[in-house]
Amino acid sequence: MNKKYTIILSFIACLNAISLLILPYLAKYLVDCAEKIIKDSSVGYNDFNKYLILMIIFGAITIVLRFIYNFTYSHFDLKMQKDLREELYNSLIYKDVNALNKYHRGEIEALFVGDVDNVCEAYLDSIPSIVRSISRAFLAIVLLVIIGGAIFFLPVVLVAGILMTILAKVYSNFMKPKHKEVLALDSKASSFVIETIDEAKLIQSYNAYDNAIVYYKNLNYEAYKKRSNRNKWSYTSSSIMGAMSQVIYVFMISFGAYLISKDKITYGALVALLTILNNIYNPFVMISPLLNRYQRGKASYDRITEIYNMNEEEDKTLIDDFDSIIIDNVSYSYDGVVNVINNLSFIIKKGDIVRISGPSGIGKTTLISLILGFNRPQSGNISFKYLNNLYEASFKTRGLIAYVPQENILFSGSIYDNFKLFSNVSDINLINDALAKASILDEINELPNGINTILKDKGAGLSIGQIQRIMVAIAIASNKPIIILDEPASALDKDNEVAMMNNLVSLGKTIIYISHKDSLIKDEKNICLVEE
């Protein structure tokens, strides 16, 4: 976060507090001049006019400073939100996949929206407002001493103010875990809403409308209870602070009237003292909600920091080629008890076509995940050999691979945008060539906007077969030495499958693919995984 924004806003807030406190000082002399004119008409208006002009000038300065603060805050708030979201995304993109899987989409979405807003409010509004309140209180005490009357009012106000500050601090610490609970439950409810939208067909096919409604209602009610409990404490604190401020105000106005009756202070002094004293106890009243908002922002920042502190890919050094992939006596288990893959060994040479087959659940996709370096075997090694050096499968070697997953996923945006995002290719001719080799170019050209057709989430608007072939085309366009495909033709008819697979073989790249179908490629290696 950019602390410069907080410092600049705090400085403007201090200037605003100074200009605001000059007004009651001038008001004292303005009212006293008016009182003198009433008592003695021979007294001129020179002094009165002077203080009136000064009041107007400093009133205008206060208004201008407030405008400057609001516009500066608006600019910094938007900038900080943008920067914080980019920083969060940049951190997120490098995190270990298995660590990220612990978070639901709804939780991540809440971080980018609600939590970022809370953090910006805490650092750009709450902190400068606290600084302004402290400045107001300090300057008001100084003015109180200068004008006179401090001996009568100050002890009561300071005792009440210190008591309010202590209560506010205790309250803010008490509220921080409650803010975290509410944020977590809101994320949980939001996650279920996203799941409902993503899997609407599943809910409708099972006729699970009522169950989904009840489940969400329970989640929402749980969040409502926590939020209600938090708000009760918040309103109780605000009410107590408000009551204390009213007691102080009644005391000041009553005691001030008494002092005037004893000729201890002037009318102008009372007007100034009431305004000044308001600037002393008002900040103490405001400190509770300000600290509450600050703690809410801190709770959100703690949630964002959890993402920052997650494990990242250990090695970001890339290699640009390989000679072979060595799978050496590899075993892998998800639960640490039953091996999905057990003592598997084979070698894939550069240019090999390798088909991985076997029954469902035998570990084919798991093996691909191990080769990609997303998971590591419990025993044995998967290494990429290059120039007589061995590199463990990891981020370092993943740059060699174009991967087409089993899930049929394209990002929202145009087909062209997906090519730029994943293959870093923007040349239309190269994209069209890749689409042709994936046997999908003619179908893309038949779309109203062709390659610029806008897709919805996960490629909605296209058939599964079209999505599969576009993903294969992206892999081809990326021009990586290895292409890994997980069931790339599961939704294709035989003609399209044959054409696409033959075109892939003609690339002269290393092809590793999972398939339940009969082999269509000559001279390929077949790795068949079986249960022991």
Task: Say what the pLDDT of residue 381 is.
Answer: 93
Higher pLDDT, 215 or 84: 84
Sheet with 525-528, strands from edge to edge, namely: 401-404, 482-486, 510-514, 353-357, 525-528
Task: Say what the pLDDT of residue 383 is.
Answer: 93
Decide which of 1.10.8.350, 3.40.50.300, 3.30.460.80, 3.80.30.20 is the CATH code for 324-528: 3.40.50.300
Q: Hey, what's the torsion of the CAs at 98, 104, 105, 110, to 10 degrees?
A: -120
Q: What is the pLDDT averaged over residues 488-499?
A: 77
Q: Taking the mean position of all CA atoms in its chain, how far away is CA 281?
A: 36
Task: Say what the pLDDT of residue 203 is.
Answer: 67
Higher pLDDT, 347 or 38: 347
Is the pLDDT at 340 greater than 70? The verdict is: yes
Block residue for tokens 């009133």: 59
Mean pLDDT, the chain, whole residue set: 82
Domains of the chain: which residue ranges?
Answer: 3-308, 324-528
Higher pLDDT, 308 or 383: 383
Q: What is the pLDDT averaged over residues 397-417?
A: 84
Task: Say what the pLDDT of residue 215 is.
Answer: 79
Q: Confidence class of residue 475 from pLDDT cuts 50, 70 and 90?
A: very high
How is residue 124 annotated by DSSP? I
Say whether 324-528 and 3-308 share the same fold: no
Q: Over the Cα atoms of the chain, what is R_g?
A: 35
- pLDDT tens track for 408-461: 678 878 899 888 888 888 899 999 999 999 989 999 999 888 999 888 777 777
Residues 80 and 117: beta-carbon distance below 8 Å:
no
User: DSSP labels for 386-421?
Assistant: ETTEEEESSHHHHTTEEEE-SS----SEEHHHHHHH
- pLDDT tens track for 284-339: 667 767 877 888 888 888 888 888 888 776 656 577 889 999 999 999 988 777 88
Q: What is the pLDDT averaged over residues 356-378?
A: 87
Task: Say what the pLDDT of residue 152 is.
Answer: 63
**CB neighbourhood size of 389 (10 A):** 10
Most confident option among 30-44, 64-78, 454-468: 64-78
Nearest to 100 by CA among 316, 307, 333, 398: 307
* Single-letter amino acid, residue 531: E
Phi, psi dihedral angles at 527 (to 5 degrees):
-100, 105
Flag the least confident range among 7-16, 186-195, 360-369, 376-385: 186-195
Is the pLDDT at 153 greater than 80? The verdict is: no
Phi, psi dihedral angles at 384 (to 5 degrees):
-105, 120
Residues 267 and 35: beta-carbon distance below 8 Å:
yes
Residue % of the chain over a pLDDT of 70: 87
Task: Say what the pLDDT of residue 371 is.
Answer: 92
* Single-letter amino acid, residue 187: S
* Single-letter amino acid, residue 352: D
Task: Say what the pLDDT of residue 166 is.
Answer: 75
Euclidean distance between CA atoms 186 and 200, whole angstroms: 21
User: DSSP labels for 4-39?
Assistant: HHHHHHHHHHHHHHHHHHHHHHHHHHHHHHHHHHHH
Task: Say what the pLDDT of residue 529 is.
Answer: 66
Beta-ladder partners of 355? 513, 526
> What's the length of the chain?
532
Which residue spans within 323-386 are E strands per DSSP?
A: 324-332, 341-349, 353-357, 379-386
Which pair of tokens denotes residue 163? 């008591």
Q: Taking the mean position of all CA atoms in its chain, how far away is CA 71?
A: 24
First vs last C-alpha separation in the chain: 55
Task: Say what the pLDDT of residue 149 is.
Answer: 58
Is the pLDDT at 268 greater than 60? The verdict is: yes
Higher pLDDT, 136 or 432: 432
Task: Say what the pLDDT of residue 143 is.
Answer: 77
Q: If one looks up domain 3-308 in CATH, what number appears?
A: 1.20.1560.10
Nearest to 468 by CA among 446, 495, 500, 494: 500
Residue % of the chain over a pLDDT of 90: 18
